[in-house]
């Protein structure tokens, strides 16, 4: 009852026909969730490991409470929107309790629920941020919960799909943590610097500079690895929407790296210097200014005088100049990272390039009133992946209780082999592993549990070479 040649890529990690308003709202909410997550995780990490007196300031506490509240409320909104998105309903569907129960039974619904519980579990830690006499358990517990929150995006996204998913999800969690530490720390620095606490913020700049360097390195490495995995290579990176969005994200990150380099330069030329060298340079500068002379321009990247005899004064930045350059770079860096998060919000719901290519075997099956688009790749002996997308009669993604796939080869007396299917998105399922030992015309049986008393099935012949 199936015909070969149908491509299921457009349904990968998405669910077919949805209302445009729901698409837009969901993308906006995802972006705001990632932003709130970055500020909360990065802000608390920076308060624990870098600016340890930051929590004593009201504006910092307000920022953290705002990000905590936003993450909790937006995740709840995302749960409601998920039901509308999967059912092909309009925005009012997010208030439909029947769609909530459908969402609850899906992988994404479970992940969103876990995130809500983790954010709520963080409440005791949030209540103690105002108290300087926080207990010894506060920091370790807070860090553990923040790591748990950072893991959730990978559990319901592209990282959970395909081969070596556990490695991919680990890399995704590291990526989220590093990006959060980078961006959240920058925002905390801006808040401190604009609250009249500039000196306090700048005192810990050498520590923050090292944290930021490590974070940038991890963001870059894990980002490249994730992109390569999803694209299946870099030969045709601009040949798909996913590849173009990923290229845009990489370009924005490179711009942020350039701005981070400028900020790092200001830190190195002022706050990482020895106190005696810094005092000597400042005294020399004051003496020159008093004499009506201009201090020499910078030459080289060292405090050691060059062959022309120019002193360290050419390297050391005046405090006001260093502060101005640093804050200007940081403001620009934060702005670029906001755009990075916006692109990421769109990227996570876009079909990866390798999933949008025609598979070696694909078909559309009628399963009762549902339509099943199924793909087996590479349709050869050895490791294969099975992708399945279910669509409702009206064209939107179908909500079902369970799916089961099995393969048999009667000609070789091979009994049915159950293939474990894992939810990988809205009405989308992927196999954990299917390894046919021999070539032949395999019989695939698909069973769909529509409701507690209704099971539909369909069969197809899959040629394995």
**Domain annotation covers residue 131:** yes
Instruction: Kindly state the greatest CA–CA separation across the chain.
Output: 99
Same domain, 375 and 246: no
The predicted model gives 38-55 an average pLDDT of 91
Which range among 45-54, 230-239, 336-345, 368-377 shows the weakest confidence by mean pLDDT?
Answer: 230-239
* Range of lowest pLDDT (268-277, 329-338, 419-428): 268-277
Rounded distance between C-alpha atoms, residue 180 and residue 178, angstroms? 5
Q: Classify strands 440-451 and 428-431 as parallel, antiparallel or unpaired.
A: unpaired
For 244-272, how does the pLDDT look when each residue is reduced to its tens digit (9 = 90+)?
888 899 899 999 888 888 877 766 665 55
Per-residue confidence (pLDDT) for residue 313, from 0 to 100:
47
Residue 405 in tokens:
């796939």
Backbone angles phi, psi at 388, to 5 degrees: -135, 130
Are both 191 and 93 inside the same structural domain? yes
CA distance 230 to 354: 7
Please give the pLDDT value at position 248.
92
Asked if residue 152 has a cis previous peptide bond (ω within 30° of 0), the answer is: no
SS3 of residue 359 by DSSP:
coil
Both 200 and 288 in one domain: the answer is no
Strand residues in 10-108 grouped as ranges (E): none
- Structure tokens of 227? 């992109």
- State how many domains the chain has: 3
> Alpha-carbon distance 416 to 406, whole Å?
6
Please give the DSSP secondary-structure letter assigned to residue 384: B
Residues 338 and 449 both lie in one domain: no
Instruction: Give the per-residue pLDDT at 282.
Output: 59
- Tens digits of per-residue pLDDT, 114-153? 999 999 999 999 998 887 666 678 889 999 999 999 999 9
What pLDDT sits at residue 68?
98
Same domain, 459 and 331: no
Whether 192 maps to a domain, the answer reads yes
- pLDDT tens digits along 359-392: 468 888 999 889 999 988 888 877 888 989 998 8
Distance CA 242, CA 240 (A): 5
Q: How large is the average pLDDT for residues 29-40?
A: 95
Q: What does the pLDDT read at residue 120?
A: 98
Q: Which two tokens stand for residue 387?
A: 């992708």
Say which residues have a Cβ less than 8 Å from residue 328's Cβ, sequence separation at least 6: none
Note whether residue 5 is domain-resident: no
Average pLDDT value over all residues in the chain: 79
pLDDT digits (tens, 9 = 90+) for 68-117: 999 999 999 999 988 887 666 788 888 888 888 878 877 788 899 999 99
Do residue 284 and residue 245 come from a single domain? no
Same domain, 197 and 306: no
Domain ranges, residue 422: 359-464
Contacts 24+ apart (CB under 8 A), 414-419: 414/438, 416/445, 419/386
Regarding whether 370 and 328 lie in a shared domain, the answer is no
The pair of three-digit structure tokens given for residue 259, joined into one six-digit string: 């701005």
Classify residue 456: in a domain, yes or no. Answer: yes
The least confident of 222-231, 262-271, 362-371, 452-461 is 262-271
Residue of higher predicted confidence among 351 and 445: 445
pLDDT of residue 42: 95
Segment 185-214, tens digit of pLDDT: 899 988 887 877 767 777 777 788 888 889
Q: Is residue 4 part of a domain?
A: no
For 399-443, the pLDDT digits (tens) are 888 999 999 988 777 878 888 888 877 788 888 678 887 778 899
User: Would residue 295 count as lying in a domain?
Assistant: yes
| H-only helix segments in 135-197 | 138-155, 165-193
Co-location of 253 and 311 in the same domain: no
Higher local confidence (pLDDT), 1 or 89: 89
Shared domain check, 309 and 235? no
Q: What is the band of 1 on the pLDDT scale with cuts at 50, 70, 90?
A: very low
Q: Which residue has the higher pLDDT, 169 or 162?
A: 169
The answer to whether residue 1 is domain-embedded is no
- Nearest 5°: the CA angle 382, 384, 387 is 170
Domain assignment present for residue 436? The answer is: yes
Query: Are residues 434 and 340 part of one domain?
Result: no
Burial class (CB in 10 A: 0-12, 13-18, 19+), 178: buried
Residue 317 — very low, low, confident or very high, per pLDDT cuts 50/70/90? low
Is there a single domain that holds both residue 136 and residue 89?
yes
């Amino acid at each position: 009852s199936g015909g070969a040649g149908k491509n299921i890529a457009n349904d990968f990690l998405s669910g077919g026909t949805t209302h445009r308003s729901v698409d837009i709202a969901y993308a906006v909410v995802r972006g705001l969730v990632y932003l709130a997550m970055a500020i909360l995780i990065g802000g608390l990490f920076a308060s624990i490991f870098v600016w340890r007196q930051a929590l004593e300031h009201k504006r910092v506490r307000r920022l953290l409470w705002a990000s905590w509240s936003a993450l909790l409320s937006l995740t709840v909104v995302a749960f409601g929107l998920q039901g509308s998105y999967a059912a092909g309903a309009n925005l009012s569907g997010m208030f439909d309790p029947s769609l909530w129960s459908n969402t609850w039974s899906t992988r994404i619904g479970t992940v969103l629920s876990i995130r809500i519980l983790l954010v709520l579990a963080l409440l005791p830690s949030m209540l103690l941020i105002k108290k300087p006499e926080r207990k010894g358990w506060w920091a370790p517990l807070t860090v553990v919960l923040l790591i748990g929150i950072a893991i959730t995006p990978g559990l319901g996204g592209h990282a959970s799909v395909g081969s070596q998913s556990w490695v991919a999800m680990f890399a995704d969690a590291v990526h989220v943590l590093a990006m959060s530490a980078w961006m959240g720390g920058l925002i905390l620095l801006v808040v401190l610097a604009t609250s009249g606490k500039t000196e306090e913020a700048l005192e810990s700049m050498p520590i923050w500079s090292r944290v930021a360097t490590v974070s940038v390195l991890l963001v870059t490495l894990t980002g490249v690895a994730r992109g390569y995995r999803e694209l299946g290579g870099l030969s045709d990176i601009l040949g798909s929407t996913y590849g173009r969005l990923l290229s845009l994200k990489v370009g924005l990150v490179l711009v942020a790296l350039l701005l981070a380099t400028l900020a790092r330069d200001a830190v190195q030329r002022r706050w990482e210097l020895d106190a005696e060298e810094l005092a000597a340079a400042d005294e020399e500068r004051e003496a020159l200014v008093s004499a009506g002379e201009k201090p020499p321009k910078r030459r080289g990247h060292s405090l050691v005088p060059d062959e022309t005899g120019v002193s360290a004064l050419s390297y050391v930045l005046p405090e006001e100049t260093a502060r101005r350059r640093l804050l200007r770079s940081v403001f620009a860096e934060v702005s670029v990272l906001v755009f990075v998060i916006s692109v990421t919000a769109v990227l996570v719901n876009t079909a990866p390039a390798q999933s949008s290519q025609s598979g070696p075997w694909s078909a559309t099956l009628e399963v009762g009133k549902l339509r099943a688009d199924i793909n087996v790749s590479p349709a050869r002996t050895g490791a294969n992946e099975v992708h399945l997308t279910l669509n409702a009669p009206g064209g939107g993604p179908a909500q079902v209780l369970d799916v089961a796939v099995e393969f048999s080869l009667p000609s070789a007396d091979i009994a049915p082999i159950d293939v474990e299917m894992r939810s990988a998105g809205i009405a989308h399922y992927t196999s954990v592993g299917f390894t046919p030992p021999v070539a032949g015309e395999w019989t695939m049986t698909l069973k769909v549990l529509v409701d507690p008393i209704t099971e539909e099935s369909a069969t197809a012949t899959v040629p394995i070479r």
